[in-house]
Structure 1
Amino acid sequence: MSTPGYQQVQVSDIARGRLDGSRQGRPCFTSDLSVNEFVLVAESGFDPLGMVMGTSVYHVGVQYGNWKASQELGVLTQAMYNVRELAMARMEAEAAQLGADGVIGVSLRPMHYQFLGDVVEFIAVGTAVKATDGANYRAPNGKPFTTNLSGQDFWTLWEHGWLPRRLVLGNCVYHVAHQTLRQTLSQVGQNAELPQFTQALYDARELAMARMQYEGQQLGADGVVGTFVEDFRYWGEHAVEFFSTGTAVSKVRPDVNPIKPTMTMPLNC
């Protein structure tokens, strides 16, 4: 999928003032990392530069589906993909303004406003970090890497020679066909699978996951970790969006000696 205007995203003057202020004099960084995450990220050789954010408020167009047919609603799929990518792009632009190598602990969440029924906002937030060894750890496209992994997971990944490339996304808005009256009556009081619903929801999830995997392949990543699939229902009971996301990763230090995990047992069981 493509996002119109993705390459033209700019940091606003207000955001630039905040970010530039943290780079002058004695900077005071901001972060959404917990104390444990902060310590482990620093132990990995990355310093936090500041909290970065991106947002996009998007008007979702209208699309009608055949109530008898299960099918993807392409207009809605593209809209929900665009709004997330634009929010991510603005967050990446803020990280680049700070000179960051990447952004960790990224959260991507929706906001809905009752007074704007056809409008959705997505907010992307994370902590920009930079390597202390002076090396360049940005993604192959020159942009800061992004990941939704926690500071603990980032440390584990790094200590085993891996590096995040980008938070990759895939989505699908799908209309699930209604059952006929005969189908509904034939199942009353019985245990029975609903093949029509099963196949529609199965296909929608597969499309979302395939698109996420394709983004990882386009980056040249070795794999995608931390994958999860969410569902959102904005358009009535027979339309659902499945959203798949994960962190594309690459092996960048093949000669590293991985740390062997150890078992710990709490004493307050």
Structure 2
Amino acid sequence: MKKTLNIAGKLLDLSTPQVMGILNVTPDSFFSGSRVLQIEDAYKKADKMLSEGASMLDIGGHSTRPGADAVSEEEELNRVLPVVEMLRKRFPEAIISIDTFRASVARKSIEAGAHIINDIAGGNLDPLMFEAVAELNVPYILMHSRGTPQTMKELNQYDDLVTDVLRELQTKIYQLRQLGVKDIVADMGFGFAKNADQNYVLLRELRAFEALEVPLLVGVSRKSMIWRKLDITPDQSLNGTTALNTVAILNGANILRVHDVKEAIEVVKLVRLLLSKN
């Protein structure tokens, strides 16, 4: 399995799991603690996550929680571009990921200084996305999903969950490889066209996705698969998130996408000690 990403000519080593901090420039993301609406607030949150050990920051301007309202391309760009530009200026060493399913937003964000495209739609919502990724020659996070945020909840029927998700990701990876895309990360899409029980199957069977021969990203942070099962709220879901992030690392995750960086870094450190042969 490939364990590096080429970030603007520098190799990011994923043999030690890395932590990606979530920075949502939206008023309606499901976890209120991830939302930042002012540029100075984005700076403070980014500074905190980087100081806690995040190696990547994921900037999103369009909520993709199930049932989320659509946001225009113009509005999405107005939200994310100032943040990308600020981060490049104030944290020049930080790795910036743009969380978007629109090729145009991806292009303009990369031009503004972002390094990675994180596409929750896996190319399904914009036929130009794969072409843009190939032309931009940047790492691409390919997430498995079906439908749109408005329809995904109805599209969780599978003949065999793990086999079907694996096959659908393999098909997309083949398409990307044919276009010359070298750096691909696979995300199983926890919560996207999967119900809570299906999410746990995917997490338990995470090693099966090593067959893709690309790094694996797991994003379960504060999701409903935790708080609905425990009859709590997203605000109360840090402990559950930490538990599942531990399982993810033990099962082969290379990147954790999280709201709470400090706790995720602690998971990485303790699991490394657990698995150390010294």
Q: TM-score, normalised by structure 2?
A: 0.29
Higher percent of residues as helix: 2
Higher percent of residues as strand: 1
Structure whose alpha-carbon radius of gyration is higher: 1
